[in-house]
């Protein structure tokens, strides 16, 4: 007799819950809690840095900062509006708060508090939010599929979507050096490591051409840059030559790099993002190209304008077209 809870015969047992499942592929290199460790390193030389969270220190890697600097760590409880209002107040007194929560709570629950007390006042608050886009399997209550669209529309707000651990470690000191409010998507836990293989260096407001190619240009941000690089390698086996332009800063957009690369003739331009196709990087790039009179063949890979299902992340990424296999398949279809 099978023990209670055993999976049906022939089906693999899930080893993680939908909420905490890693976005790293099997065997992929990872680095633990890059945000938490980078913030500790920053705080050693910046006494104005404080860490704040709304009962999610462990789940945003801020617990590492709390262990290193307990007197500079503020646990605000399950009260996101209070978190951001207090962060604004501390910034007004000369501190640099790094405030963490889930992306859904910042972009939906506390949006007005961020808008009025941080963005309008141009306060030096850094907002780092976990579970961006489709990185949680818990359904619409925890899937921040529209966060970039919301924060792109907020005046004074810089918006960043990092790809991997290597980039997050560089972003933390970079946004500390930048005066003004920042919204940063956060990858937490065991975070994939890939961009170090490309000698990549993060620059605020700058895109980076990670690989060149003559057939397709993928313009991507966040985890979709990992997917783009993997898809480019897979497509090379079919003699499809794919370029990948990584755009970590969604606002302000690197218009010069995008126009230069998208303006090269003879390439299909595909924007890939872990975000709804409404209001994110894809529409930002499309609007830029139209205004500049650049008209390549253009496609989008992103999440649908819909409330997404709950489930295991690999299944959901396949279902909604943002897995490496689906990105590869879709580009092949478009090239036929």
Q: What is the pLDDT of residue 8?
A: 47
Question: What pLDDT digit, counting tens, does each position of 35-51 carry?
Answer: 999 999 999 999 999 99
* Helix residue ranges, H only, the chain: 34-45, 63-68, 80-92, 103-104, 111-113, 147-152, 165-177, 223-236, 255-262, 281-292, 313-319, 324-335
User: For residue 309, how many C-alpha atoms fall within 13 Å in the half-sphere facing its CB?
Assistant: 10
Average pLDDT of the residues in 90-94: 98
Measured distance CA(227)–CA(324) in Å, rounded: 5
Structure tokens at 133: 């886009």
Structure tokens at 185: 């998507």
Rounded mean pLDDT of the chain?
A: 94
Measured distance CA(99)–CA(39) in Å, rounded: 11
User: For residue 41, how many C-alpha atoms fall within 13 Å in the half-sphere facing its CB?
Assistant: 13
Measured distance CA(234)–CA(325) in Å, rounded: 9
DSSP labels, 1-46: -PPTTPPPTTPPPPSS-TTT--SSPTT--EEE-HHHHHHHHHHHH-
Q: How far is CA 44 from CA 39, 65, 159, 175, 245, in A?
A: 9, 11, 25, 16, 34
Structure tokens at 196: 């170090």
Measured distance CA(100)–CA(105) in Å, rounded: 10
Q: What is the pLDDT of residue 245?
A: 98
Question: What pLDDT digit, counting tens, does each position of 99-113 carry?
Answer: 999 999 999 999 999
List phi, psi (to 5°) of 264: -70, 130
Measured distance CA(57)–CA(241) in Å, rounded: 43
Q: What is the pLDDT of residue 186?
A: 97
Q: What is the pLDDT of residue 27?
A: 87
- pTM score of the predicted model: 0.93
Residue 10 has pLDDT above 60, yes or no: no
Question: What pLDDT digit, counting tens, does each position of 243-300 carry?
Answer: 999 999 999 999 999 999 999 999 999 999 999 999 999 999 999 999 999 999 999 9
Residue 93 has pLDDT above 70, yes or no: yes
Per-residue buried b or exposed e for 159-168, using 16+ beta carbons within 10 Å of the residue's own CB = bbbbbbbbbb
Average pLDDT of the residues in 117-130: 98
Q: What is the pLDDT of residue 264?
A: 97
List phi, psi (to 5°) of 137: -95, 15
Residue 9 has pLDDT above 90, yes or no: no
**3-class secondary structure per residue, 87-110:** HHHHHHCCCEEEEEEEHHHHHHHC
Classify residue 62 by burial, with Cβ atoms within 10 Å: 0-12, 13-18, 19+: buried
Q: How far is CA 272 from CA 11, 23, 122, in A?
A: 31, 16, 31
Neighbours of 230 (CB within 10 A): 19
Measured distance CA(271)–CA(262) in Å, rounded: 11
Q: What is the pLDDT of residue 26?
A: 82
Confidence bin at 208 (pLDDT 50/70/90)? very high
Question: What pLDDT digit, counting tens, does each position of 131-158 carry?
Answer: 999 999 999 999 999 999 999 999 999 9
Residue 14 has pLDDT above 50, yes or no: no
140 vs 21 pLDDT, higher one: 140
| Contact indicator for 304, 275 with CB cutoff of 8 Å | no
Average pLDDT of the residues in 153-165: 98
């Amino acid at each position: 007799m099978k023990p209670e809870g055993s999976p049906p015969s022939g089906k693999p047992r899930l080893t993680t819950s939908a909420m905490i499942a890693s976005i790293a592929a099997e065997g992929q290199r990872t680095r633990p809690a890059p945000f938490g460790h980078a913030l500790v390193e920053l705080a050693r030389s910046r006494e104005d840095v404080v860490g704040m969270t709304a009962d999610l220190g462990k789940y945003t890697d801020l617990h590492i900062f709390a262990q290193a600097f307990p007197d500079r760590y503020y646990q605000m409880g399950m009260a996101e509006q209070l978190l951001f209002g207090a962060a604004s107040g501390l910034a007004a007194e000369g501190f640099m708060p790094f405030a963490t929560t889930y992306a859904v709570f910042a972009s939906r629950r506390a949006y007005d508090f961020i808008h009025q007390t941080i963005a309008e006042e141009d306060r030096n608050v850094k907002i780092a939010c976990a579970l961006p886009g489709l990185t949680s399997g818990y359904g619409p209550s925890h899937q921040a599929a529209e966060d970039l669209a919301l924060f792109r529309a907020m005046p004074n707000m810089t918006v960043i979507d990092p790809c991997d651990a290597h980039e997050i470690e560089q972003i933390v000191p970079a946004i500390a050096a930048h005066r003004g409010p920042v919204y940063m998507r956060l990858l937490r836990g065991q975070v994939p490591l890939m961009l170090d293989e490309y000698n990549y260096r993060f620059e605020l407001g700058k895109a980076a051409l990670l690989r060149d190619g003559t057939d397709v240009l993928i313009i991507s941000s966040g985890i979709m840059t990992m997917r783009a690089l993997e898809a480019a390698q897979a497509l090379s086996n079919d003699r499809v030559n794919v370029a990948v332009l990584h755009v970590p800063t969604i606002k302000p957009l690197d218009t010069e790099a995008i126009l230069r690369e998208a303006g090269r003739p003879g390439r299909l331009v595909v924007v890939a993002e872990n975000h709804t196709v409404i209001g994110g990087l894809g529409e930002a790039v499309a609007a830029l190209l139209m205004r500049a009179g650049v008209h390549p063949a253009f496609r989008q890979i992103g999440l649908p304008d819909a409330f997404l299902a709950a489930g295991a992340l690999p299944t959901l990424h396949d279902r909604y077209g943002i897995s490496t296999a689906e990105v590869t398949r879709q580009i092949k279809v478009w090239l036929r």
